[in-house]
């Protein structure tokens, strides 16, 4: 059944989905699993009154609009904390990029979330459910890249959200690209939004990727081993795409569990490193001034 897809608004988290005309909506009960693509109708507008489209444009939302996003968790100290919805919970838009879940708490400066009515799961033309994993780049194909071992890499880590990490990362990308280098840039962790992705492109990056390309609409709630493997694969992917230097941004602050787990693998960490010793890394700890 092609319910609502002809006029649907597709969020950033669906940017790897192709062949929209061939896709269907399964009206059977949709299981709440990380990365499952879901089709929903806007029931009530809240804090997110627009959707970030697959090309980065702010798409105005109206009550009754059909949107396509993906189930996931979010932890943002300055916005929403949200999780996969259960059968009896309300469903909300957690990010403008189309991350969908149930808000558990919010910052005092934010209003009520945009509420959604789930219509069904997104499937291919054969009725097979689609997820971010089913359209992802193969992690295993980029973890053993020989060029990865010699790719100079700068990792930007911050003390918290809104500490200036993306500003620093984009500035590094801009300076390195102006120096004549082909720069690869990536957001390693975060929640389904393309703000940083577009910032790297605008700064002059020759190749850009993020965690979404590797199957996660948001990294919060995924096992740390998955995040570590993905970080290595991201770096390998940038190398195979011809990057001469990589700038990687790790989201949120160093006190968050996932961030700490990744930082502990960087060379020079007191806990040691699981990265190959031949890798050149630099760490920039960005904090509020």
Q: Which of 28-42, 47-61, 65-79, 249-263 has the lowest mean pLDDT?
A: 249-263
Are 177 and 152 part of one and the same domain? yes
The predicted-structure confidence for 203-213, as pLDDT tens digits, reads as follows 999 999 999 99
Q: Which of 44-53, 120-129, 191-200, 260-269 has the lowest mean pLDDT?
A: 260-269
* pTM of the model as a whole: 0.87
Q: Which of 132-141, 162-171, 203-212 has the lowest mean pLDDT?
A: 162-171
Q: Is the pLDDT of residue 97 over 50?
A: yes
Q: Indicate the pairing of strand 9-10 with strand 66-71.
A: parallel
> Under the phi-then-psi rule, with left for phi > 0, alpha for psi from -120 to 50, and beta for the rest, what region is 268?
left
Domain boundary among 133, 161, 186: 133
Q: Which residue has the higher pLDDT, 200 or 289?
A: 200
Q: What is the mean pLDDT of residues 101-105?
A: 94
Domain boundary among 133, 167, 200: 133
Most confidently predicted of 26-40, 113-127, 254-268: 113-127
Q: What's the domain range around 79?
A: 5-133
Residue 149's pLDDT band (cuts 50, 70, 90): low
Q: Which of 14-18, 19-23, 66-70, 159-163 has the lowest mean pLDDT?
A: 159-163
Domain boundary among 74, 100, 133: 133
Residue 145's pLDDT band (cuts 50, 70, 90): low
Q: What is the CATH number of the domain that holds 178?
A: 3.40.50.11030
Q: Is the pLDDT of residue 18 over 70?
A: yes
Residue 86's pLDDT band (cuts 50, 70, 90): confident
Residue 251's pLDDT band (cuts 50, 70, 90): confident
Q: How far apart are CA 267 and CA 274, in angstroms?
A: 8
Q: How far apart are CA 72 and CA 59, in angstroms?
A: 21
Helices of type H across the chain: 165-178, 195-203, 224-240, 257-263
Closest by alpha carbon to 192, among 29, 82, 49? 82
Who contacts 67 (Cβ-Cβ below 8 Å, separation ≥6)?
8, 9, 10, 11, 39, 40, 41, 42, 51, 61, 93, 98, 116
The predicted-structure confidence for 167-178, as pLDDT tens digits, reads as follows 999 999 999 999
Are 164 and 196 part of one and the same domain? yes
Q: What is the mean pLDDT of residues 244-257?
A: 85
Q: Is the pLDDT of residue 276 over 60?
A: no
Residue 3's pLDDT band (cuts 50, 70, 90): low
Our count of domains for the chain comes to 2
Are 245 and 194 part of one and the same domain? yes
Are 117 and 219 part of one and the same domain? no
Are 45 and 114 part of one and the same domain? yes
What pLDDT score does 265 carry? 76
CA distances to 16, 18, 177, 183, 235 from 239, in Å? 21, 25, 16, 10, 6
Are 92 and 153 part of one and the same domain? no
Are 219 and 270 part of one and the same domain? yes
Q: Indicate the pairing of strand 91-93 with strand 115-123.
A: antiparallel
Q: Which of 154-158, 243-247, 273-277 has the lowest mean pLDDT?
A: 273-277
Are 30 and 162 part of one and the same domain? no
Hunting for tokens 């943002």 — which residue is that?
76
The overall average pLDDT reported for the chain is: 86
Q: Which residue has the higher pLDDT, 60 or 165?
A: 60
Structure tokens at 44: 């009530």
Q: Are 224 and 257 in contact (CB under 8 A)?
A: yes
Who contacts 44 (Cβ-Cβ below 8 Å, separation ≥6)?
63, 112, 114, 115
Residue 35's pLDDT band (cuts 50, 70, 90): very high
Q: How far apart are CA 157 and CA 179, in angstroms?
A: 23
What helix, strand, coil percent values describe the chain, rounded to 5?
25, 30, 45
């Amino acid at each position: 059944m092609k319910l609502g897809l002809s006029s649907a608004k597709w969020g950033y988290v669906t940017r790897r989905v192709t062949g929209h005309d061939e896709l269907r909506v399964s009206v059977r009960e949709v299981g709440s699993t990380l990365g499952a693509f879901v089709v929903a109708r806007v029931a009530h507008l809240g804090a997110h009154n627009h959707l970030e489209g697959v090309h980065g444009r702010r798409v105005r939302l109206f009550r009754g609009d059909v949107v396509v996003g993906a189930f996931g968790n979010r932890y943002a100290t300055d916005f929403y904390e949200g999780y996969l919805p259960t059968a009896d919970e309300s469903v909300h838009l957690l990010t403008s990029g189309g991350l969908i879940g149930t808000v558990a708490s919010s910052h005092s400066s934010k209003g009520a979330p945009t509420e959604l009515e789930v219509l069904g799961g997104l499937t291919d033309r054969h009725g097979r459910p689609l997820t971010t994993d089913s359209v992802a780049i193969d992690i295993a194909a980029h973890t053993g890249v020989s060029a990865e071992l010699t790719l100079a890499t700068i990792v930007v880590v911050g003390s918290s959200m809104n500490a200036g990490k993306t500003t620093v990362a984009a500035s590094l990308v801009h300076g390195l690209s102006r120096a004549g280098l082909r720069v690869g840039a990536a957001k390693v962790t975060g929640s389904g939004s393309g703000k940083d992705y577009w910032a790297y492109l605008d700064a002059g990056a020759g190749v850009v990727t993020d965690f979404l390309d590797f199957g996660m609409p948001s990294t919060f709630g995924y096992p740390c081993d998955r995040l570590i493997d993905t970080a290595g694969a991201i770096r390998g992917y940038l190398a195979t795409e011809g990057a001469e230097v990589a700038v990687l941004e790790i989201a949120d602050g160093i006190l968050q569990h996932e961030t700490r787990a990744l930082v502990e693998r960087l060379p020079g960490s007191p806990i040691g490193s699981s990265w190959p010793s031949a890798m050149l890394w630099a760490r920039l700890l960005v904090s509020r001034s």
